[in-house]
Every structure is written in C-alpha cells, then in structure tokens.
C-alpha cells in the first residue's frame, strides 16, 4: 500500500480515535532477518502480501473479537461486583 493511500483512509477517523495498526517497510523486514531488498523487489513483496491480505485480516479479526469479548466480559463482571 502506498503511504498516500493509507493517509487517505486515516482521514476518515477523528484524531482522537484509537486504532490497532500494523505496518512494515523493507528496513523492518531486514531487521527481522530478511534480505536487503531493492525498491522493485520490495514492491513485489508488497504486491504478493496484498494478494493474501484478506486472509490475514480475517484471522486477525478473529483474535481481536476474542480479546474484545474477554475485555467486555471482565468489564461486566467488575460492574456486577461493584453493584453487589
């Protein structure tokens, strides 16, 4: 994804909204043991990743839903305890 496209997506949010964001650039990949890539090679990596992005997002969404359910359950339990 181009940075300008990400910026356009982020403009839809209020500056005080909280988001979960993950992004990588070729330097980060290199720091994690990946090869040093040219811009053209990195472009191919991004393209290959974006082709499979929806699977990753679906998997991550399941994790986020589980976390949110656990947080919400804990909140409800604390609320009930405070009432009692």
What is the share, in percent, of the chain residues with pLDDT greater than 70? Answer: 95
The token duo for 23 is: 């992004």
Range of the domain at 21: 1-51
**Distance from C-alpha of 34 to C-alpha of 28, rounded to nearest angstrom:** 9
**What is the distance of C-alpha 73 from the center of its chain?**
23
- What is the pLDDT, as a whole number, of residue 75? 86
- Residues 80 and 64 placed together within one structural domain of the fold: yes
**Distance from C-alpha of 10 to C-alpha of 16, rounded to nearest angstrom:** 12
Number of structural domains in the chain? 2
**Distance from C-alpha of 84 to C-alpha of 81, rounded to nearest angstrom:** 5
- Residues 1 and 42 placed together within one structural domain of the fold: yes
Q: Is the whole model's pTM more than 0.85, yes or no?
A: no
- Residues 46 and 60 placed together within one structural domain of the fold: no
- Residues 46 and 71 placed together within one structural domain of the fold: no
55 pLDDT exceeds 80?
A: no
How many Å from the N-terminal Cα to the C-terminal Cα in the chain?
51
């Amino acid at each position: 994804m181009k940075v300008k496209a990400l910026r356009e997506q982020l403009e839809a949010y209020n500056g005080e909204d909280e988001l979960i964001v993950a992004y990588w650039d070729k330097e980060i990949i290199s720091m994690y043991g990946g090869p040093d890539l040219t811009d053209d090679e990195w472009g191919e990596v991004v393209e290959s990743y974006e082709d499979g992005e929806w699977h990753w997002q679906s998997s991550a969404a399941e994790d986020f839903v589980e976390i949110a359910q656990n947080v919400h359950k804990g909140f409800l339990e604390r609320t009930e305890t405070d009432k009692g």
